[in-house]
Amino acid sequence: MRYISTRGGIQPITFKDAVMMGLATDGGLLLPESYPRVTGELLESWRGLTYRQLAFEVISPFVGDIPSKTLKELIDRSYATFTHPEVTPVVKQDGIYILELFHGVTLAFKDVALQFLGNLFEHILQERGEHLNIVGATSGDTGSAAIHGVRGKKGITIFIMHPKGKTSAVQALQMTTVTDENVHNIAVHGTFDDCQDMVKALFNDLSFKETYALGAVNSINWARVLAQVVYYFWAWLRVTDSGPTPVSFSVPTGNFGDIFAGYVAKRMGLPVDKLLLATNENNILTRFINEGDYSLSGVVATVSPSMDIQVASNFERYLFHLYKEDPFKVRSAFAELREKGRISFSEDEMRRVRAEFCSASVNQDQTLETIVSFYRETGYLLDPHTAVGVCAARELLPDHVARICLATAHPAKFGEVVEKAIGSQSPVPPSIASLAGMPTRCDEMDADLNKLRDFITSRVG
């Protein structure tokens, strides 16, 4: 399988090169030249597979330049760190299927992709005799999942900045209790935007970027999307184990990465009725689907902070397909966005969007109410991100369809919000309880690009 850019400016490259490139060098995003076709018969033959076996079947046609045996080992190692034997189990509560994606080390679905990406990076770097220095900024979830994905790995050093005192306590501890030599936590005196701006400035300094082999782990890496395609197949197989039924997915969405993986599964032939894109008050994608209005506005802070995003970086991948793989249309759409703050769509385009997706925006009161009512009815606790998806599913998806809601985080990870909703403390899993007494390592820094440069140059691998 070879990979091309949504902006059309690179020659096709292999899977391993796509993983190492991350963002395409022409500023676009990488996508496979075509999607492997999964027929109904092939899908049925996967019913008896374990999660890891299924992951190999789904992922391998996209790879091509890693021997099967090695790829199997990388997949096995990535999912051995999950505490549930089924990796991402499906549980039924009150007529809704909950796809639990939070059994990884940091209790959020990002582990599914970042455990795999960490192992892939290590494998490719060792093979090439290279070293990678990952630099990133986080408001909480991505940073901790990335740190756990690469801790102790050969050939990789990671620098993650977070705004000091502005993440949740659990999120900060999940990062700073990782004391491996190749992990550098930096608590910045400033906001998340300050951290983000420093990363952007550093990556824009091309000679620095090249000299120090800087890399990123944000959600634009194709391998992250690919790892997430697997659990759509897995969940579909589990809810149809007891007989055929139409299936829809509800996906709490920020950067459009997770739901794009669902779109890929559908394109490969997975029979999905609708992909429900659920947003909080940051609802540009809901306005796009329901009103054809893709126009920028400000970011609002909510109780589901991992979805507080204005410009969804993976949306470009979907646009490329909506524009029938025409990179010139992608470029002119982004030129329009830059100039006018919006992208406009034709009626035909919107018809095709609505054939695949539906969408609802759920506000914070509805989110808290959903946590409470679901808990009262079932005794099952939803985290605020998952609650957004469940609320949207109840509103939009008919109940003759099997409704699968993606549970993107464990409720204890956002314990303060859950506690506020139900009025009592949610049970704390051992992986969080044990963080309290552990040694930590973290440097503090002012939001100063020169200080960051010095810090990195004195510690690169």
Ligand X SMILES: *Cc1c(COP(=O)(O)O)cnc(C)c1O
Interacting residue ranges for ligand X, rule: CB under 6 A: 108, 110, 141, 219, 252-258, 306-307, 385, 408-409
Query: Are the C-beta atoms of 117 and 215 separated by less than 8 Å?
Result: no
Q: In angstroms, what is the minimal distance from the CB of 278 to ligand X? A: 9
Q: Could you tell me which of 427, 390, 409, 371 has the C-alpha nearest to residue 92?
A: 390
Q: How far apart are CA 232 and CA 58, in angstroms?
A: 10
State both tokens at 75: 């997949």
- Please say which residue, 17 or 308, places its beta carbon nearer to ligand X: 308
Provide the minimum distance between the beta carbon of 81 and ligand X in the complex, in angstroms, as a whole number: 17
In the complex, what is the shortest distance from the CB of residue 227 to ligand X, in angstroms, rounded to a whole number? 12
Q: How far is the CB of 78 from ligand X (least distance, A)?
A: 18
Write down the least CB distance from residue 339 to ligand X, Å: 26
Q: In angstroms, what CA-CA distances link 367 with 239, 399, 418?
A: 25, 20, 10
Whichever of 32 and 140 has its CB closer to ligand X, that residue is 140
| Residue 110 appears among annotated catalytic residues | yes
Residue 29 CB, nearest distance to ligand X (Å)? 13
**CB of 307 vs ligand X, minimal distance in Å:** 5
In terms of CB distance, is 104 or 257 closer to ligand X?
Answer: 257
Six token digits for residue 388: 């957004």
Q: Whose Cβ is closer to ligand X: residue 212's or residue 357's? A: 357
Backbone angles phi, psi at 311, to 5 degrees: -105, 110
Helix (H) or strand (E) holding 249: strand 247-252
SS3 assignment for the chain = CEEEECCCCCCCEEHHHHHHHCECCCCCEEEECCCCCCCHHHHHHCCCCCHHHHHHHHHHHHCCCCCHHHHHHHHHHHHHCCCCCCCCCEEEECCEEEEECCCCCCCECHHHHHHHHHHHHHHHHHHHCCCEEEEEECCCHHHHHHHHHHCCCCCEEEEEEEECCCCCHHHHHHHHCCCCCCEEEEEEECCHHHHHHHHHHHHHCHHHHHHCCEECCCCCCHHHHHHHHHHHHHHHHHHCCCCCCCEEEEEECCCCHHHHHHHHHHHHCCCCCCEEEEECCCCHHHHHHHHCCEECCCCCCCCCHHHCCCCCCCHHHHHHHHCCCCHHHHHHHHHHHHHHCEECCCHHHHHHHHHHEEEEECCHHHHHHHHHHHHHHHCCCCCHHHHHHHHHHHHHCCCCCEEEEEECECHHHHHHHHHHHHCCCCCCCHHHHCCCCCCCCCEEEECCHHHHHHHHHCCCC
Q: Which is nearer to ligand X, 108 or 195 (CB)?
A: 108
- Which of these is catalytic: 110, 153, 274, 413? 110
Nearer to ligand X, 110 or 184 (CB): 110
Report the residue number, 167 or 408, with the smaller CB distance to ligand X.
Answer: 408
The rounded distance, in Å, linking the Cα atoms of 418 and 424 is: 8
- Tokens 């539906």 belong to which residue? 358
In the complex, the smallest distance separating the C-beta of residue 280 from ligand X, rounded to whole angstroms, is 10
Q: Which is nearer to ligand X, 110 or 266 (CB)?
A: 110
Residue whose CB is less far from ligand X, 5 or 255: 255
Which positions are catalytic? Answer: 110
